[in-house]
Amino acid sequence: MRPLSVLIEQFKEDSLNRLSSKIIAEGKAQGKKIIGYVCHYTPEEIIYAAGMLPIRILGGPEPSDIGSAYLHRNMCPFARSCLSQGLEKHYDFLDGIVIPHTCDAICKLYDMWRLYVKIPFAFMIDHPHQLTPGAVHYLTHELNRFQKSLEEFAGTPISEESLREAVVIYNTNRSLLKHLYELRKVNAPPISGAETFQVVKASMLLPKPLHTQMLQELLETLDSQGESDGKGSRILVSGSIIEGSEFIQLIEECGAQVVIDNLCVGSKYFWNNIHLDGNILEAISHRYVHQSPCACVYSDQKGFEQLKGLSKDYHVDAVILYSLKFCDTYHYDFPSQKEKLEKEGIPVLELESEHSSGAHGQLKTRIEAFLEMIGKHSRGDS
């Protein structure tokens, strides 16, 4: 059994980037098509079943201005950063992109990518924005259109058998990630929030069978380790997309433990599995309609129920609601979520920043003050 530190190291940013680049280069050399996708509303299973490699597109580690020449400065910094990465040719290896219709910023990103980055294959999935009885039916129709478009691009049909096989592979990976999160329910989890974040992020950048193998080895070691010496307030982080582990790490360096998240590069990515009964496209559609929602897709009530449930299950002391600047959808939801959580006796800190990865030093003072306050609160001081 390899030491835990060695296993965790594989998921850290530098190692992960090296491994991902190597796999992409090998795939390209074998003629494999690589498809970039932008959001956890993308049904990767269909891309995988087409024999292609899905890779999540993320922004750069530092803010970049190039994207702002095409997407206005008062639009989502994540969308602008992704576009900058495309314009700076960091995603030149992609054969195609898939973007679901979620928020306006993501839709504009799709238009700009097609116009200015240029790519052989581009597809937008029109994801339903209401949880009506017709939503699953509508998305099934969209996924059927997506499947046909991919088949045409690949020059080969996607069989029912390969779709089912892809779903099984993805379900296995999701179940293992859920097991990893289960380990964080204990008083002193054996793996930190920042490390866990990297493990989930790696699942979006590596082929699923390889990630599953790495994760299985990690879990075997974690299962045999028992609890760590972790301490500090137990925090849930929710909100806009967070692309790098630096923000979670900052909270943990301030003395807390991020034991659970409600993020799209996080628990939302794997929380729900796909059942294998009946029509497989409909089953995939059902999963993507009913997965843990982004604020840009459904009303905040479902989001609040999710936060309340996770707070209880993970024995959370406080919630940090994080938003990117100009992310109207999360800004809109936060006041009512904060009010409802505080009514449940859960303290809430709202934070906003310009860039979701890289340095967050300016937020440190506010996090420290908040942790100090909830520390006093839990000790019963005034």
- Closest separation in Å from C-beta 85 to ligand SF4: 14
Total number of residues that touch ligand SF4 (CB under 6 A): 20
User: Site residues for ligand SF4, window 156-195 (CB under 6 A)?
Assistant: none
Q: Is residue 39 near ligand SF4 by the rule CB under 6 A? A: yes
Q: How far is the CB of 320 from ligand SF4 (least distance, A)?
A: 16
Can you tell me which of 196, 329, 337, 353 binds ligand SF4, judged by CB under 6 A?
329
- Rule CB under 6 A: choose which of 10, 64, 81, 102 binds ligand SF4: 102
Binding mask 267-306 for ligand SF4 (x = CB under 6 A): ---------------------------x-x----------
**Is position 371 an interface residue for ligand SF4 (rule: CB under 6 A)?**
no
Which range, of 119-127, 200-208, 248-256, 323-331, touches ligand SF4 by CB under 6 A? Answer: 323-331
- Dihedral (Cα; 334, 251, 194, 52), 10-degree rounding: 30
Q: Which of residues 143 and 241 has its CB atom nearest to ligand SF4 in the complex?
A: 241
**Are the beta carbons of 367 and 254 closer than 8 angstroms?**
yes
Q: For 103-120, b where at least 16 C-beta lie within 10 A, e where not — what string?
A: bebbebbbebbeeebebe
Residue 341 binding ligand SF4, by CB under 6 A: no
Stretch that binds ligand SF4, among 14-22, 123-131, 189-197, 322-330 (CB under 6 A): 322-330
Pick the binder of ligand SF4 from 98, 106, 194, 254 (CB under 6 A). 106
Between 233 and 267, CB nearer to ligand SF4:
267
Q: Nearest distance from residue 38's CB to ligand SF4, in Å?
A: 6
Contact code string over 211-250 relative to ligand SF4, x by CB under 6 A: -----------------------------xx---------
Looking at 98-106, 162-170, 177-185, 193-201, which segment touches ligand SF4 (CB under 6 A)? 98-106
Q: With respect to ligand SF4, which residue has the nearer C-beta, 52 or 103?
A: 103
Sheet (strand 234-239) strand order = 257-262, 234-239, 318-324, 348-353
> What are the C-alpha distances in Å from 238 to residues 111, 232, 293, 322?
28, 19, 11, 6
Rule CB under 6 A: choose which of 7, 11, 23, 40 binds ligand SF4: 40
Site string for ligand SF4, 64-83 (x = CB under 6 A): ------------x-xx----
Among 199, 264, 280, 346, binds ligand SF4 (CB under 6 A): 264
Contact positions vs ligand SF4 (CB under 6 A): 38-41, 76, 78-79, 102-103, 105-106, 240-241, 264, 294, 296, 324, 327, 329-330
